[in-house]
Amino acid sequence: MPKRHARAACTALAAAGLLLAATGGATADSAPAAPSAAVTLRTADAPPELLAAMQRDLGLTPTQAKARLAHEAEAGATAARLRDRLGAAFAGAWVDGADAAVLTVATTRAADTAAIRATGARAKLVTRTLAELDADRAALDRAAGPATPVRYVDPRSNTLVVEETEAGAAAALLAATGTGADRVTVVRTAEAPRPLYDLRGGDAYYMNGSGRCSVGFPVTKGATNGFATAGHCGRAGTTTSGFNQVAQGSFQASVFPGNDMAWVAANTQWTATPYVKGSGGANVQVTGSVLQPVGASVCRSGSTTGWHCGTIQQHNTSVTYPEGTISGVTRTTVCAEPGDSGGSYISGSQAQGVTSGGSGNCSSGGTTFFQPLNPILSAYGLTLKVSGSDPGPGPGPGEPEPGGTWKAGTVYAAGATVTHGGASYRCIQGHQAQTGWEPPNVPALWQRV
């Protein structure tokens, strides 16, 4: 690792309070150091198939691929803490570099720059907050049409980006909403996104015996097994058959447009597994659902084009398909094609979302969008199927449970507060809670208040 990257990584860890004592470990009078974000998210356990795909699609060396996952985990935790600290002045965060060793955090308040740099991140002073630009995007969403199909906030340029398929379409949209042109970057595109029509993540399934989509992530709801997928693949009551054409189940709930989310309950012949179909059909383990930051690597599994990787470009993007507008999706550089819809996006071992739509293809390249998974889990009361969960030591014999409002299985958004063991904690990275991830154990996810 280059020296500047090593220094930045160590500074970030120290700022997060994650370094051991100067002796290299805990002393007799000190508690053991809390695990780092990389340890919490188990980036060192990334399967060889995922690392190989990152090397192929992102042009990385084996060392860079491993380092990138660790850096992305630490950057996500650091950015989440800074977002909480900066409040309304926060203007976005992103990672750069082949191994994602450089984190930049933007703010509209000059007084914040020292605190940002103290964590090892770069500080960028800008004129517009993330909240302001998101409000502009929401105004455009209400008036957008197929000629301006994609709108998102780009934190790097501190502008709202509007893609247009026809000359002048973006200007007309800005005029109709009263949005200042100085706040907007217009990008001309030749292709408009479309839903990619056509119980392991990435496997094929068929709707009503005809159209094909892809399994997102296996889940459970009580004793029922099933999977999360895209809403445009089917409506409540639509029956499904699996990759082998054996009767599988039916859609229980579906939303599209607005969002692009659904879940399918499977019959007793099907069992949910904590896997996504990786390169060559190998199983890629899923261990959680912590959403990764802009610039992070992400890989997608689908029944048409298989396993491909890219990077996260923007969160909370709005897209207008011919069928209507969906909001809250994430824009990526991963390619996809029809039939990949509903399939899995995963970063390291962390589930990210399900394929919604996009443009381009896997021959020439493309842009795709995923519906984040955590809102699907929360909306339908689903539990993500995960592997390798460490329950931790728990209370000793005769000791009471710590109590409080934190509960495994609950989906917590950034900013949510809970109590555990008599203390209060604020969530700094959205995730579905699981045994072993109690707030005192995972400072990458919870901050004591």
25, pLDDT greater than 80: no
State the number of CA atoms in the 13 A half-sphere of 9 facing the CB. 19
Among the listed residues 71, 198, 232, 308, the single catalytic one is: 232
Annotate 316-365 with three-state secondary structure.
EEEEEECCEEEEEEEEECCCCCCCCCCCEEEECCEEEEEEEEEEEECCCE
- The whole-angstrom separation of Cα 34 and Cα 242 is 43
pLDDT confidence of residue 209:
78
State the number of CA atoms in the 13 A half-sphere of 432 facing the CB. 26
State the number of CA atoms in the 13 A half-sphere of 38 facing the CB. 19
Question: Which of 288, 268, 177, 180 is CA-nearest to residue 225?
Answer: 268
pLDDT confidence of residue 403:
76
Q: Residue 28: CB partners within 8 Å, gap ≥ 6? A: none
Q: In this structure, are residues 255 and 236 in contact, taking their beta carbons and an 8 Å threshold?
A: no
Q: Report residue 235's pLDDT band, with 50, 70 and 90 as the boundaries.
A: very high
Q: CA of 221: how far to CAs of 24, 383, 390, 411, in Å?
A: 44, 6, 21, 14
Least confident of 12-26, 279-293, 312-326, 388-402: 12-26
Q: Report residue 210's pLDDT band, with 50, 70 and 90 as the boundaries.
A: confident
User: What is the mean pLDDT of the segment spanning 336-341?
Assistant: 96
Q: Which two tokens stand for residue 187?
A: 């990008």
- The whole-angstrom separation of Cα 251 and Cα 253 is 6
- The whole-angstrom separation of Cα 257 and Cα 245 is 28
Q: Residue 340: CB partners within 8 Å, gap ≥ 6? A: 196, 198, 214, 300, 302, 303, 304, 305, 355
User: What is the mean pLDDT of the segment spanning 206-223?
Assistant: 94
355, pLDDT greater than 80: yes
The phi and psi torsions of 372 (rounded to 5 degrees) equal -55, 145
pLDDT confidence of residue 67:
97
- The whole-angstrom separation of Cα 356 and Cα 371 is 6
Question: Which of 237, 248, 236, 260 is CA-nearest to residue 200?
Answer: 248
- The whole-angstrom separation of Cα 343 and Cα 25 is 43
pLDDT confidence of residue 31:
61
Q: 29-43, 233-247, 390-404: which has the highest mean pLDDT?
A: 233-247
What is the β-pairing status of strands 211-214 and 159-164?
Answer: unpaired
Among the listed residues 36, 279, 318, 341, the single catalytic one is: 341
Does 260 qualify as catalytic in the annotation? Answer: yes
Among the listed residues 99, 112, 154, 260, the single catalytic one is: 260
Q: Which two tokens stand for residue 179?
A: 């949005």
Least confident of 145-154, 191-200, 205-214: 191-200
Segment 373-397, tens digit of pLDDT: 999 999 999 999 999 644 444 444 4
Segment 64-97, tens digit of pLDDT: 999 999 999 999 999 999 999 999 999 999 999 9
Segment 156-194, tens digit of pLDDT: 999 999 999 999 999 999 999 999 999 999 999 988 888
Q: How do the residues of the chain divide into helix, strand and coil, expressed in percent and rounded to 5?
A: 25, 35, 40
- The whole-angstrom separation of Cα 377 and Cα 220 is 10
| Edge-to-edge strand list for the sheet holding 90-96 | 90-96, 102-107, 122-125
17, pLDDT greater than 90: no
Report the share of the chain in percent with pLDDT over 70: 89
Q: What 3-state DSSP class applies to 6?
A: helix
CA angle in degrees (0–180, nearest 5) for 307-311-314: 130
Q: Write down the mean pLDDT value for the chain.
A: 90
Q: Which residues pair with 311 in a beta bridge?
A: 297
Does 96 qualify as catalytic in the annotation? Answer: no
- The whole-angstrom separation of Cα 258 and Cα 151 is 14
- Helices 130-141 and 169-177, interaxial angle, to 10°? 100
Q: What 3-state DSSP class applies to 68?
A: helix
- The whole-angstrom separation of Cα 92 and Cα 173 is 25
402, pLDDT greater than 90: no
State the number of CA atoms in the 13 A half-sphere of 344 facing the CB. 34
- The whole-angstrom separation of Cα 148 and Cα 176 is 13
Does 198 qualify as catalytic in the annotation? Answer: no
13, pLDDT greater than 80: no
